[in-house]
């Protein structure tokens, strides 16, 4: 089975059901979407060679969705470049992957003024919605790829270092799709809203929905007001959100009095959800919550925490709410040396571009996350290995301190990093976003943490900001936080 077979199957079952609804509100039924995918494959096949990289630099759109399926169908590798990066960062990724064709929105292509000189491999540049891309599906099956052929090449968020190019095959992506359909109990026939940029692995959720014949609504970017309107306009029943997005949505609903009566399910990831935020969401939305843990290298989620576990967490077992969930049956998760989480399964990428192994000789992926597993088999992500602060010879989990800080009534969000300290080696530094108009004293926050955690884990520095820097998939950008904290403290 190949990626585009998901759409072909849905088109055969319910041809006139909308497959994709773009940010402009235009719906494309499954049968027409299938035809457009075949046309993209035909055009790509006529203008490139097998194995070529076809790069895309664009906002979420129906045209982008066609490329998701159409480029791999032609036996080429869809290379997803984050449209929000600076041109210099984009040139670096394009130079590494050496695409022959670049597809994009005019606004993003116009920024790449040095594309031809910086990336000599490029022989053709075309806009994502060009009529020629969907003109004629003839020849789309001339070179049907194999399941293990590369389909997508996408970059990690780089939240803890230089982004790496991850190569996924049809087989690995479809393995993640099957795992999510089972692990999250995805309902057929629903309407799903995707607010994450499609250049990130979160875009695989579109395939998860198409696997059960559901409609996917694409948001060009996340804004709470536009998100709520899209839910109402299209009768959205399910969505995915980062906790930061959920907080913004709840604030919007509270301020406007708006409701989302059709919404039944919210999946979240990138961070555990604070218990107070979850309670507020359940009170206001009355939906099922699903947590998922995965990363770019796993082509999707590998563990899931379902609605029943969320309700149990709120009913007297709050520790469950900090869990990442239980591995689905088609993947293995274990704790390795130093507490590092290791993952193995068909959905795990075998390599980083161009030829660096992503897994060890036994197929285990080192995630870079530190975790533990409880007696009931739930995985807990303690922290990123790079986010462990070593102060006075003691290891401090930044996430643990962040959880303590966000339990304070006047703290909206917080990020904790290590900063150089002549005596301690590193000191714990908290960068805090306060609730509007209720900025607490730094000494009060330090005392608040010390009341909950052992003394050496308390912040020695507290800095306040209006908002935390985020990567485009909703994670706090710890590199940016670390640079800011060190700069402020030096000053």
Instruction: Output DSSP code: residue 325.
Output: B
Q: What is the pLDDT of residue 73?
A: 96
**DSSP state letters, 277-294:** HHHHHHHHH--EEEEEEE
Query: Do 224 and 302 lie in a common domain?
Result: yes
Write the CATH number for 450.
3.30.300.30
Checking DSSP bridges between strand 77-80 and strand 150-155, what pairing results, if any?
parallel
Q: Which of 350, 383, 416 is the last residue of a domain?
A: 383
Query: Do 278 and 335 lie in a common domain?
Result: yes
Q: Answer whether 411's CB lies under 8 Å from 434's CB.
A: yes
Question: Which residues share a beta bridge with 331?
Answer: 345
Which helix (H) or strand (E) segment holds residue 370: the answer is: strand 365-373
Classify burial at 452, counting beta carbons within 10 Å of its beta carbon; exposed 0-12, middle 13-18, buried 19 or more.
middle
Q: Answer whether 112's CB lies under 8 Å from 87's CB.
A: yes
Query: Do 348 and 484 lie in a common domain?
Result: no
pTM for the whole structure: 0.85
Q: What is the pLDDT of residue 159?
A: 52
Query: Do 122 and 188 lie in a common domain?
Result: yes
- Distances in whole angstroms, Cα of residue 357 to Cα of each of 377, 393, 399: 29, 33, 29
Q: What angle do CA 361, 365, 366 make, to 5 degrees?
A: 110
CB-based contacts of 121, cutoff 8 Å, min separation 6: 98, 99, 100
Question: Of how many residues is the chain composed?
Answer: 491
Question: Which residues share a beta bridge with 239?
Answer: 193, 266
Q: Which two tokens stand for residue 209?
A: 């929905």
Classify burial at 197, counting beta carbons within 10 Å of its beta carbon; exposed 0-12, middle 13-18, buried 19 or more.
buried
Q: Which two tokens stand for residue 94?
A: 């394009």
Query: Do 445 and 334 lie in a common domain?
Result: no
Maximum Cα interatomic distance, the chain, rounded to a whole number of Å: 70
Q: Residue-wise pLDDT tens for the chain (491 aa)? A: 999 999 999 999 999 999 999 999 999 999 999 999 999 999 999 999 999 999 999 999 999 999 999 999 999 999 999 998 889 889 999 999 999 999 999 999 999 999 999 999 999 999 999 999 988 777 666 678 999 999 999 998 765 557 899 999 999 999 999 999 999 989 888 999 999 999 989 999 999 999 999 999 999 989 999 999 999 999 999 999 987 789 889 999 999 999 999 999 999 876 666 777 888 888 889 899 999 999 999 999 999 999 999 999 988 898 898 899 999 999 999 999 989 999 999 999 999 999 999 999 999 999 988 899 999 999 998 877 778 888 877 788 898 899 899 999 999 999 999 998 877 888 999 999 999 878 999 999 999 999 988 888 999 999 999 999 987 667 788 889 999 999 999 88
Query: Do 350 and 424 lie in a common domain?
Result: no
* Residue found under tokens 């967490």: 313
Query: Do 403 and 375 lie in a common domain?
Result: no
Instruction: Count structural domains, the chain.
Output: 2
Query: Do 442 and 360 lie in a common domain?
Result: no
User: Distance between CA 11 and CA 34 in Å, rounded?
Assistant: 7
Q: Which two tokens stand for residue 420?
A: 């150089």
Residue 452 belongs to domain spanning? 392-490
Query: Do 119 and 151 lie in a common domain?
Result: yes
Write the CATH number for 166.
3.40.50.12780
User: Distance between CA 389 and CA 429 in Å, rounded?
Assistant: 9
**Number of C-beta neighbours around residue 319 at 10 A:** 11
Query: Do 100 and 145 lie in a common domain?
Result: yes
Q: Which of 364, 383, 402 is the last residue of a domain?
A: 383
User: Distance between CA 439 and CA 463 in Å, rounded?
Assistant: 11
CB-based contacts of 410, cutoff 8 Å, min separation 6: 434, 435, 438, 439, 440
Checking DSSP bridges between strand 300-305 and strand 288-295, what pairing results, if any?
antiparallel
Query: Do 411 and 330 lie in a common domain?
Result: no
Query: Do 299 and 415 lie in a common domain?
Result: no
Q: Which of 352, 383, 414 is the last residue of a domain?
A: 383
């Amino acid at each position: 089975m190949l990626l585009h077979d998901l759409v072909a199957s849905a088109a055969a079952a319910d041809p006139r059901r909308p497959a994709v609804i773009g940010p402009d509100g235009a719906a494309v039924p499954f049968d027409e979407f299938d035809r457009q995918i075949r046309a993209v494959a035909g055009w790509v096949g006529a203008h490139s060679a097998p194995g070529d990289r076809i790069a895309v630099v664009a906002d979420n759109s129906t045209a982008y969705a066609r490329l998701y399926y159409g480029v791999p169908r032609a036996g080429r590798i869809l290379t997803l470049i984050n449209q929000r990066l600076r041109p210099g960062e984009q040139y670096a990724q394009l130079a590494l992957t050496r695409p022959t064709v670049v597809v994009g929105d005019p606004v993003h292509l116009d920024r790449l003024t040095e594309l031809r000189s910086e990336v000599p491999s490029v022989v053709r540049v075309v806009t994502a919605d060009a009529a020629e891309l969907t003109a004629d599906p003839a020849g789309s099956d001339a070179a049907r790829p194999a399941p293990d052929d590369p389909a997508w090449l996408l970059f990690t968020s780089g939240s803890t270092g230089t982004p790496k190019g991850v190569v996924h095959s049809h087989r690995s992506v479809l393995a993640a799709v099957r795992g999510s359909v089972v692990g999250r109990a995805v309902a057929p026939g629903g309407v799903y809203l995707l607010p994450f940029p499609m250049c990130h692995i979160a875009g695989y959720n579109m395939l998860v929905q198409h696997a059960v014949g559901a409609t996917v609504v694409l948001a060009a970017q996340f804004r709470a007001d536009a998100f709520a309107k899209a839910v109402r306009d299209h009768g959205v029943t399910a969505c995915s959100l980062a906790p930061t997005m959920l907080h913004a949505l709840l604030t919007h609903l509270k301020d406007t009095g708006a409701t989302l009566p059709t919404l039944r399910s919210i999946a979240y990831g990138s961070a555990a959800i604070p218990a107070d935020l979850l309670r507020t969401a359940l009170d206001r939305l009355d939906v099922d919550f699903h947590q998922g843990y995965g990363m770019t290298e796993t082509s999707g989620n590998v563990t899931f925490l379902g609605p029943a576990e969320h309700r149990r967490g709120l009913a007297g077992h709050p520790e469950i709410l900090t869990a990442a969930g239980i591995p689905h049956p088609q993947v293995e998760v274990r704790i390795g040396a130093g507490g590092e989480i290791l993952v193995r399964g068909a959905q795990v990428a075998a390599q980083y571009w161009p030829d660096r192994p992503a897994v060890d000789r036994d197929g285990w992926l080192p995630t870079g996350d530190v975790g533990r597993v409880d007696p009931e088999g739930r995985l807990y992500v303690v922290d990123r290995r790079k986010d462990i602060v070593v102060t006075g010879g003691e290891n401090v989990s930044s996430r643990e301190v962040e959880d303590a800080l966000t339990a304070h009534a006047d703290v909206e969000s917080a990020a904790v990093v290590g900063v150089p300290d002549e005596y301690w080696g590193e000191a714990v530094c908290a960068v805090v976003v306060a609730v509007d108009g209720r900025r607490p004293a730094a000494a009060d926050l330090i005392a608040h943490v010390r009341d909950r955690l052992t003394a050496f884990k308390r912040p020695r520095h507290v800095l306040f900001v209006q908002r935390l820097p985020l990567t485009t998939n909703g994670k706090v950008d710890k590199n940016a936080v670390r640079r800011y904290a060190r700069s402020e403290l030096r000053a």
